[in-house]
Amino acid sequence: MTMRIIGGASRGLHLAPVGIGDARAHLRPTSDRVREAIFNLLINGGYGNPVAGARVLDLFAGTGALGLEALSRGAASATFVDDGTVALALIRRNVALMRGEERAAVIKRDATRLGPNAGAPHSLVFLDPPYGKGLGEAALTEALTQGWLAPVAMVVWEESTAPKVPPGFDMADQRRYGDTIVTLLKAEA
């Protein structure tokens, strides 16, 4: 599968190839079409453009395409979290292709066991866990309780079915794109 940055300063940049996805590595890259729809919703959906100047947290980052798209569109920084060896190598390669090393951090960690956040909290979160396993709920709860999220952080959550919204979050929007349901949540103040 060929992926590219859709908009912003790095628009058109081709990212490292993944093939059709790597089932063993649990990689299921967000399609360009769905990524474009997500960013159109964030930037033009009446949310005050939560991408501009954001500190982004990309959980279950996979290829890093969502966080990199945010960097291209004006996010200040991005932290990519994944525990897969293949995924981490792809993220590092894609950050290098974008020349984003100074604005990106790559962390090898299970997103459901983040531990305490040592840095500043994040205002925009991308959450694309393996579908149907309840990992998104666990990761969001962990991120919230361990200080990874800023008050009223925006969360963009991809799943195959409508997820159960964990305590501490309010539903902002939900859209279906093919077999993907994108849910926007706001962390409570």
Q: Considering only CA atoms, which of 178, 168, 172, 142 is closest in space to residue 157? A: 172
Task: Look at the alpha carbons of 112, 80, 50, 115 in this order and tell me if their dihedral is positive or negative.
Answer: positive
Predicted TM-score (pTM) of the model is 0.93
Q: Each residue's pLDDT tens digit in the chain (189 positions)?
A: 678 889 999 998 888 877 544 445 556 677 778 888 999 999 998 888 999 999 999 999 999 999 999 999 999 999 999 999 889 999 999 999 999 999 999 999 999 999 999 999 999 999 999 888 989 999 999 999 999 999 999 999 999 999 999 999 999 999 999 889 999 999 988
Q: How far is CA 8 from the centre of its chain?
A: 17
Which residue in the block uniquely carries the two structure tokens 């897969």?
84
Buried b / exposed e along 125-140 (16+ C-beta atoms within 10 A):
bbbbbebeeebbbbbb
Cα–Cα distance, 123 to 148 (Å, whole number): 9
